[in-house]
Structures are given as C-alpha cells and as structure tokens.
Structure 1
Amino acid sequence: MSSNFNTWARTSITLKLVIIGILVLVLLIPTNMVQNLIQERETTRDSAVSEVASKWGMDQTIGTPIISIPYYTVVVNANNQKETYRNYAHILPDDIKIKTKLVPSTKKRGLYEVVLYNTQVSILGSFKSEIQNLQQKTSNTLRLDQACIQLGISDLKGLKDVVQFNMDGTDTFEFNPGVPNTDIYNSGMSFPIDLTAKDAFAFSCNLNLNGSTSLHFQPYGKKTMVELTTTWANPSYQGAFLPDTSITTETGSYARWKILQLNRNYPQYGFGDFIRQSERAAANITDGQASSFGLRLILPVDQYQKITRSAKYSIMFILLTVVAFFFVEIINKKKIHPIQYLLIGFGIVLFYVLLLSISEHTNFETAYWISCAGIVLLISLYTQSMLRKIKVTLLIAAILSTLYVFFYALLQLQDFSLLMGSIGLFIILAVTMYLTRNIDWYKEDNSSTENFSAAPESLD
C-alpha cells in the first residue's frame, strides 16, 4: 500500500500541479519583500531630495499681493467683561499679470538626483476701491490707517533678494517677513500701509526665488494672467487649471494661463478666511489651495517607478516560467523536483533585486538587460545541469529571453500595455494549447510519465 502511494506521489500530474501551485504562492512572500525593498529605497530617495530642498527651497506656491484691513469687535464674556478681538477684511487685486522665467538645475545627493530651480518673477497688478463695499457688510469700523499689504510665498527660505513693492510708480515699500494673520496665507511677507487717503492704485514687485520640483500660483486677481518660460523640457502641468497655451520643445517649454474670477468660487473681497470657506463649501478642501495651478519638473526617467511597474509583473513571470518547465518535464519525461522549481522561482525574484541595485548606478535600460542576461544565464546553466540536454537548455533560454523582451515592451508602452499584455497572454495560451493537444492527461495522471497517447516527441 505504501509502495503504491509512493509511486503515485512520484508520478501524479495532479499532485505535481498542486505542489507547483503551492510553490508559486510561497514565492509571493519574497516577491512582496522585493516590492517593500523598492518602496524603502524610493523613500530613502525622497528623504534625500527633501533634505536638499529644505536647504535650497521647497516646492513653491506664490500668491498675489492682497490688502488686509483690521477691524475690532467687542464681546461681553461669561463674566460680564468686555473683550476686544481683532479681525481682518481682505481685498484681492483687480488685474494681475505674472511673468516668470524658471531656470532649472540638478544636484546629486549620494546616489540620487534632485531637481532644483531659480525663478525670476515679475508681478504687475492693480487694486480697485472696495472699501465702501466692505464697510457696508460690517457694523465695525475698518481701520484703514492700520492696513497692510500681504504677499504669500510658501517657503521664504528660497528668497534671494529683498522684495520691494512699488505703488503707482512713485512710492516704494519693502516687505518684512511674516504675515499678521493666516486667513489667506500661512506663510509670506507683509508691510504696513495707510490707506486713508488712497485705496486704489497700481503696483509692481519682483521676486528672485529658489525652489524645487514644482512651482504654483494662486489666481487671486479678478483676471489673472501668468506666463512661464523654462529651459526644462519635461514639465507636468498641474493644479486646477491647465495652460491655455503650452509649447514644449527639446530646449524648453512655454505656458500661458488666463483665469477669471468666474473660474473660481470666491469673491474679490471678504472677511477672515473667506477663501478657505468658499473652497471648503465647493470642494471639501480646507487648505486654500483648490484653485492653485502651475507645473512640476519631472525627471525624464524615474527608475523606481519603472521598477515598481516591473515588479508588479513578477508573479506572472514566475507563473509562465514554471509552466514552461512543467511542460518541458512532461514532454521530455524528465522529473524536476519541487525544490528545483523553487530555486528557479527564487532566480526570477532575484532579477528584481539585481534590477533595483544596478539601476541606482546606471540607467534603467542598462540595468534591465544586465539583470536579464545574468538570470537567463543562471537558469540556463541550472537547467543544463538538471536535464543534461542542450536543446532543452537552449529552449528554456529562448523562452526566458522572449518573456523578458515581452515584459520590457509592456513597460515601454504605458498607453498600450493592457492591449499588448492581453494579446501576448492570448498567444502564449494558444501555443501552449497547441503543443499539449495530444497529451492524454488521464493516462499521465494514472501511470508513469512514459505513457503517452501520440504525445509530442521528446526534445533531445
């Protein structure tokens, strides 16, 4: 009885398929570990990028000059005592024209490349008189003599020159760091101004600003026009608005936005954090950034993104490789032990570790083909030592090489990867069905692997 069971266990195709399926599931563990390793290395890269950016200048969001006017309210508390609170009314500019020239650069931090930039920003605009409209909306007196001009910049560390505010081409004011309130801007600069005599005027100011990775603007003008020129040839336009005009060449890019008050959800004047309240009501966004727009400077090749996509195909690659060895075993009547299947699977998993480590020192394409050559050679030599049939070894090498080329093509064709992948799998299934069409699986499962019914000839 025991002898019959041992014979069945050694020759049963069904049992072998069950064991192979279990081994494939076991290989999910190291595959998942590799994906975690990729994420860990990507996190390390992001930390290095953030460290450099924190010293140069982070992602920058530039606002527009706004007028902030304090008013005071008196409240009687529970102890019947009067408490005075200072609040602010805000006026947004009428017309805004922003021209910026962005000059990118890259710096190395260990193994990692960081995208930095310096930008020269020119801001022209004007304020209309909205004092009477504001005063009609509150019973409190607006203190025009205590007003201030605010300009929001998300990371003041990036400023490289003193910022001056020119009013009507005659008066010049210098911005001081900090803002008197966080109703509109969480970070920025400001200066006091007396608006008792004049609350409508034209203005201009210039910024020399360092930043990294992205640059965004706030459309606070009744009509906001932004022109951006850069020598970076791989911009990614982001935010609430795409540019009306964009031109990208090998030497750089140009973009122009025109945004109206009607395109956003808040008026030109209001009290407190009226912009955040309006955006919260419209889009459930509380950071006041719902209407910002701009661009992100992306690296032409992000090896971690490609490696992550490649690793997602790992289980399919393992499955196809194991299936290839299984049919080689069936057709050639040569037993392959489950441990040998497991070692072959580990070889496939090792490919992604090699790809990750080599790509950190060279480009993705070179790393891919070096890793591919190494794993194909490793598994081919192992196959030759197992089966000792050169034709089978060459067949396995050809199958593995074809799979690596196929999956590389999937990585390159992002828009057509699903179509190409489904067609490729269809062809693989069709070829497998054709090659195994004459195998009598009932005989194979109830006898030794020598019993075939018009089975394909052995690959000697």
Structure 2
Amino acid sequence: MEPSTHESPSFFDRYAYAIKAVIILVLIMVLLIPTNLIQSVIWERRDRQEEASKEVSSRWGNEQNITGPVLAIPYKTNTSNYVYLLPEQLKINGELLPEKLQRGIFTVAVYNAKLQLSGTFKREAMASLNISPSALDWEHASLLIGISDLRGIDNQVEMKWNGKNYLFNPGVVSSDLFSDGIQSPVAINPADTAAFSGNFSLELGIKGSGRISFSPIGKTTTVGINSSWPSPSFDEAFPPKTRRVDDKGFAATWQIQHLNRSYPQSWEGKKFNIHSADFGIKLFLPVESYQKSMRAVKYAIMIIGLTFFVFYFIELSQRRALHPLQYALIGLALCIFYTLLISISEQINFIMAYIIASVLTIGLIIAYTAAAFKSIRIAAGIGATLTLIYGFIYVIISAEDQALLMGSLGLFVILALIMYFSTTIKWDKLGQKNTTITE
C-alpha cells in the first residue's frame, strides 16, 4: 500500500480570497467614477433650476429690496451734491401673497406684497452736519424710495405728506444711495417747522420672487409682515423680535434701532452704504431635492463598500463564490439608485422618491442574489441588510445638525460588526485544497 499524499495548494489557491478582496477594493474605487458623474448631473440639474427661476423672475419680478423713504436736499451752490436725511420713525406693515409658478418641472416661489409705509422726519437730525439751512435748496427737496426691480411695482404710488398728496415718479435724483427707485418732489419751507417735521404715509404694491428685504433706515424701524407661506427663512443678522410659523403661514415683527447699524441719521454725499444692515424674508421651498441628493451621493462609497463586504463575508462563510463581473453588476445597480433618486425627486417629494428608488434597487439586488446563490435565505438577508443601510443613510442626510455625530457612531458600529464577523472565519483554513488519498 502506498503512503497517503497531500497535494500542496498553488499560490493562487492559497491566496484566492485575498486576491478576491483586492479585486473588490479596486472595483469600489472604479465605481466611484460613475458616482462622480452623477454629482455632475446633480449640478447640471441645479443649474437648470436656477435658470428656470431667473426666467420666471425676469417676467414676474426679481428679489425686491425696499429702502426708504429718504429725504434728499440739494446744495444751492452745487446741485450735484445732496444731503440725505433718514426718518425718525419708520413703520412697515404688510402682507405677502405667495404663489408657486411652474417652469417645466421646476417650481419658483413668487409673491405679491401689499405694504403700508409710514413715519416721521425731524429736522434736528441734521444738527450734526453743521450745515447752514441757507446753503440748502429746500424747495427742490425730494423724497426717495429705493426699489431694486421697478418692474414689480403694480400700483400708482401716492404719498400723503402733512395732509397733502404727492405722486411718485420713476428714477432717483442721485445714485449715492441706490441706483433704482422712485421719487417725489416735496417743497419744504425751511422756516415752517411744522411742514418739515411732518408725517408721511403711503401704500406700495410690489411683486417679486424668492426674497423680500428692507433697509432699517429709521432711528427706530418697526416691520410687521404676515403671509400664508408655511416655510419662511428669516435673516439671522436681524432675527424677528416675534414670530409665528405654522401650517397656515407666518407672522413676524422686527424692531431695529439706529444703534444696530453702521450709518447715521444724516450725511452728505456718498459716504455710507445704506444696504449694509438690510434684512428680510425668503420664501423657502422645503423640497431641496438636489441638495439632499448630493449629500446622498457622498455616502455612495460607504453603501457600495458595505454591500460588497456583506457579499464577501457570505462567500467566505458559505464557500460560494461570486465572479468579479457579478460584483460589478451589483455595484452598477447601487449607482443607478442615485439616478433614480434624482429623476423621481424632481416629480414628487424627496422622501417618497428615496423610498421608491430604494425599493427598486434593493428588489433588483435581491432577485439577482437569489439567482446567483440559488438561495432565498441569503437573498432575504441581503435585502434586510440593504434596507438597514439605506434607512441609516436617509436618517443621516435628513439630520443636518447631527449628521456628523450620527454618521460617526454608525460607522463605528458597522466596523465593530465587521470585526466581530471576521473573527468567526477560519482564515488559516482558507485556500486549503483537500486531495484524494490513494492506497
């Protein structure tokens, strides 16, 4: 009887699973190429959305900034220079009537604002200038209101000044404060203190899109705005003093003092930027599908890597091998998830698009796994694992403030699980090849 012999495994047999692991890592890196292309698609779609928004805004009205009224008084000696006087009190109350306009598949938020402006001017505010009243041309004084897009004005603006009515005309007497606006001459008798320190009130109807802002030019500026828009975004520089936001809309009030800004109540010429303290409201569209899609794509390497790790451990534990081409097909299915997400989220809300894209992708991989391994049990396990992964990713991209914390903790738990399962594998037995013993 001849002694039993064992055939020594070849190099490739001994390190087959190590070589497979290297191939899988290379595949993961290669699959980052289509994910980068998908990011380019997201940027392209976002640019198209911005183009659609600009096109709608150009017809309806752009973002509006309201500044004024400001009293402009020319020099008698040099009419190209002006002294500017800001109101002692400025009150703005109004309502934003919002609409959603469609440009193809894109939605643009626009509004029709109905504003009431009122306040008072005081001559004492000019005392700090040390300018003689006789050096000013009071009879050619003008009241200016800066409006960033005059196309949005939808009413004849008429002002009541000390009981007298004045109509506004387009244009401004000087570009020291703003380049676009309306003006009304207000002849003032410098000897008539009552005529100078008078009250004003006017109504302004204006259309715009996206955002409306105001300049706090009063020594005390009070603004109250209400609207049926349920998701406003307020400037953080001057947050509202009071606010109410619910499903029926919002109501907000501001009270800003002259100490909160960097320019005085009166000055000569072009010395200060009157827009340095502007504040406003943005009609925020809550469905930021492109932003969330971009955040989801950034986790592509984690989804692909974890999925491949799961399949690799199944290979090791079940001794059932997948061809590298099969890994590549599964990786492409994971990449197609993002194109599904982007295209579907343009039609419906993001969470439903995420669910639909996830179900389609997971369903495809489950069916492919069942056919590849000839096992419903393994396919079901893969489906459950992918469901947990996609659910975890959605929680991360939805939780903006806690995204880093949740992502770090999640990755730690996943790494711990991978390390645990790796201890159950008999690495020293991998690659051994049993041979037939002959006698």
TM-score by length of 2: 0.90
TM superposition shift of 1:36? 1.2
Partner Cα separation in structure 2 for residue 417 and residue 135 of structure 1: 54
8 Å CA contact retained: 2:68, 2:145: yes
Partner Cα separation in structure 1 for residue 384 and residue 348 of structure 2: 26
Which of 266, 270, 287 is matched with 1:269 structurally? 266
Q: Name the SS for the 2:155 alignment partner.
A: coil
Which of 419, 422, 433 is matched with 2:405 structurally? 419
Partner Cα separation in structure 2 for residue 32 and residue 140 of structure 1: 69
The residue number in structure 1 matching 2:123 is 129
Which of 72, 97, 101 is matched with 2:95 structurally? 101
The residue number in structure 2 matching 1:186 is 179
TM superposition shift of 1:94? 0.8
8 Å CA contact retained: 1:239, 1:292: no
After TM superposition, the structure 1 stretch with the greater mean CA deviation from structure 2, 396-405 or 410-419, is 410-419
Unaligned residue ranges in structure 1 (runs of 5+): 74-83, 277-287, 452-460
After TM superposition, the structure 1 stretch with the greater mean CA deviation from structure 2, 221-230 or 123-132, is 123-132
TM superposition shift of 1:146? 2.6
Residues 437 and 268 (structure 1), Cα distance of their counterparts in 2 relative to 1, 3 Å cut: same
The residue number in structure 2 matching 1:51 is 55
Partner Cα separation in structure 1 for residue 433 and residue 360 of structure 2: 32
Q: Which amino acid in structure 1 is aligned with residue 113 of structure 2? A: T
Asked if 1:60 is matched to 2:64, the reply is yes
The residue number in structure 1 matching 2:350 is 364
The residue number in structure 1 matching 2:137 is 143
The residue number in structure 1 matching 2:297 is 311
Equivalent residue pairs, number: 424
The residue number in structure 1 matching 2:37 is 33
8 Å CA contact retained: 1:20, 1:341: yes
Q: Which protein has greater RCO, CA pairs closer than 8 Å, 6+ apart?
A: 2
TM superposition shift of 1:318? 1.0
The residue number in structure 2 matching 1:174 is 167
Asked if 1:388 is matched to 2:374, the reply is yes
The residue number in structure 1 matching 2:332 is 346
The residue number in structure 2 matching 1:16 is 20
8 Å CA contact retained: 1:125, 1:204: yes
Partner Cα separation in structure 1 for residue 64 and residue 101 of structure 2: 18
Partner Cα separation in structure 1 for residue 127 and residue 168 of structure 2: 27
Partner Cα separation in structure 2 for residue 269 and residue 10 of structure 1: 87
TM superposition shift of 1:430? 2.3
TM superposition shift of 1:360? 1.5
TM superposition shift of 1:33? 0.8
The residue number in structure 1 matching 2:213 is 216
TM superposition shift of 1:355? 0.8
Residues 11 and 377 (structure 1), Cα distance of their counterparts in 2 relative to 1, 3 Å cut: farther
Q: Which amino acid in structure 2 is aligned with residue 275 of structure 1? A: F
Unaligned residue ranges in structure 2 (runs of 5+): 1-7
Residues 242 and 61 (structure 1), Cα distance of their counterparts in 2 relative to 1, 3 Å cut: same
Q: Which amino acid in structure 1 is aligned with residue 54 of structure 2? A: S
After TM superposition, the structure 1 stretch with the greater mean CA deviation from structure 2, 5-14 or 347-356, is 5-14
Partner Cα separation in structure 2 for residue 5 and residue 129 of structure 1: 101
Residues 140 and 324 (structure 1), Cα distance of their counterparts in 2 relative to 1, 3 Å cut: farther
Partner Cα separation in structure 2 for residue 69 and residue 131 of structure 1: 13
8 Å CA contact retained: 1:96, 1:223: yes
Q: Deviations over 1:46-101 (max 9, x none)?
A: 2112211211111111111001122377xxxxxxxxxx782222111111111111
After TM superposition, the structure 1 stretch with the greater mean CA deviation from structure 2, 125-134 or 289-298, is 125-134
8 Å CA contact retained: 1:144, 1:195: yes
Which of 233, 239, 250 is matched with 1:253 structurally? 250
8 Å CA contact retained: 2:88, 2:218: yes
8 Å CA contact retained: 2:9, 2:432: no
Residues 85 and 442 (structure 1), Cα distance of their counterparts in 2 relative to 1, 3 Å cut: farther
Q: Name the SS for the 1:242 alignment partner.
A: coil
Q: Name the SS for the 1:396 alignment partner.
A: helix
Partner Cα separation in structure 2 for residue 15 and residue 181 of structure 1: 76
8 Å CA contact retained: 1:144, 1:196: yes
Q: Name the SS for the 1:274 alignment partner.
A: coil
Q: Name the SS for the 2:262 alignment partner.
A: coil
8 Å CA contact retained: 1:24, 1:318: yes
Q: Which amino acid in structure 2 is aligned with residue 184 of structure 1? A: L
Partner Cα separation in structure 2 for residue 159 and residue 449 of structure 1: 85
Q: Deviations over 1:385-442 (max 9, x none)?
A: 3222222222212211221122222233333333333332233222222222132435
8 Å CA contact retained: 2:316, 2:425: no
Asked if 1:86 is matched to 2:80, the reply is yes
Q: Which amino acid in structure 2 is aligned with residue 95 of structure 1? A: Q
After TM superposition, the structure 1 stretch with the greater mean CA deviation from structure 2, 401-410 or 51-60, is 401-410
Partner Cα separation in structure 2 for residue 184 and residue 43 of structure 1: 32
8 Å CA contact retained: 1:333, 1:449: no
Partner Cα separation in structure 2 for residue 416 and residue 358 of structure 1: 26
TM superposition shift of 1:11? 4.0
TM superposition shift of 1:229? 1.1
Partner Cα separation in structure 2 for residue 5 and residue 46 of structure 1: 62
Partner Cα separation in structure 2 for residue 260 and residue 183 of structure 1: 23
8 Å CA contact retained: 1:71, 1:140: no
Q: Which amino acid in structure 1 is aligned with residue 40 of structure 2? A: N
Partner Cα separation in structure 2 for residue 256 and residue 12 of structure 1: 70
Q: Which amino acid in structure 2 is aligned with residue 323 of structure 1? A: F
Residues 134 and 68 (structure 1), Cα distance of their counterparts in 2 relative to 1, 3 Å cut: farther
Cα RMSD of the aligned pairs, angstroms, is 2.5
Partner Cα separation in structure 2 for residue 213 and residue 187 of structure 1: 19
8 Å CA contact retained: 1:123, 1:205: yes
The residue number in structure 1 matching 2:321 is 335
TM superposition shift of 1:450? 8.3
Partner Cα separation in structure 1 for residue 45 and residue 134 of structure 2: 57
Q: Deviations over 1:317-341 (max 9, x none)?
A: 1111111111112112222222222
